[in-house]
Amino acid sequence: MNLPTNQTSQQVPADYFGIRIPFLEFLGVVPEYAKNGRSRMRIDLRPELENSFHVAHGGLLMTLLDVAMAAAARSSLSDPSGEAVMHHSGAITIDMTVSFMRPSSGTIVVEGSVLKSGKSINYCEAVILNEAGEVTAKSSGTFMLRR
């Protein structure tokens, strides 16, 4: 079996907003930004990430939504000086709800945002967009922040 190749993992391990996540490297997820309670990443769909209908597998989409919300939650943290503390923090999924609206294919963009931020709990949402900018799936979730 040939493992998927992506330029990111072959050159330098990817930095997913201050941490290394080998599973996302394996999938080929490209992080774009995570700041001020918002995040964005993308992935170019490959055949090995598709389901039997030749569109993105639901498990892949759920992973992307989960990571986008967690990154948004982590990006809302700052220390007393106002500096982001993403590399010192973590977000643990408490619950997550997903709605699939249409098939996802091609280049998939995932955007996450914090709806309400608390001391240790953040309420978040994320959407998956297709190449036409249409929402193909959306999610809401609750995340516990670890400092």
48: containing domain: 7-146
pLDDT at 8 over 70: no
Percent of the chain past pLDDT 90, that is, above it, reads 73
79: how many CB neighbours lie within 10 A of its CB?
A: 11
Q: How many other CB atoms sit within 10 Å of the CB of residue 135?
A: 14
Is the CB of residue 119 less than 8 Å from the CB of residue 51? Answer: no
Going 114 to 67 to 126 to 14, the CA torsion angle's sign is positive
Q: Which CATH number do you get for residue 31?
A: 3.10.129.10
Each residue's pLDDT tens digit, 25-63: 999 999 999 999 999 999 999 999 999 999 999 999 999
Answer whether residue 1 is part of any domain: no
Please report the pLDDT score of residue 88 as a whole number. Answer: 52
In the predicted model, is pLDDT for residue 114 greater than 90?
A: yes
Mean pLDDT of the chain: 88
Residue 115 exposed, middle or buried by CB count within 10 Å (0-12, 13-18, 19+): middle
Residue 40 to residues 10, 30, 43, 119, 141, Cα–Cα distance (Å):
22, 9, 11, 23, 16
The answer to whether residues 16 and 68 touch, using CB atoms and an 8 Å cutoff, is no
2 within a domain of the structure (yes/no): no
What is the per-residue pLDDT across 68-101, written as a single tens digit (0 to 9) for each?
Answer: 999 999 998 765 455 555 555 789 999 999 999 9
- Rounded to two decimals, the pTM is 0.86
Q: Domain count for the chain, please give it.
A: 1
Strand locations in the chain (E): 30-35, 38-44, 90-100, 107-117, 121-129, 135-146
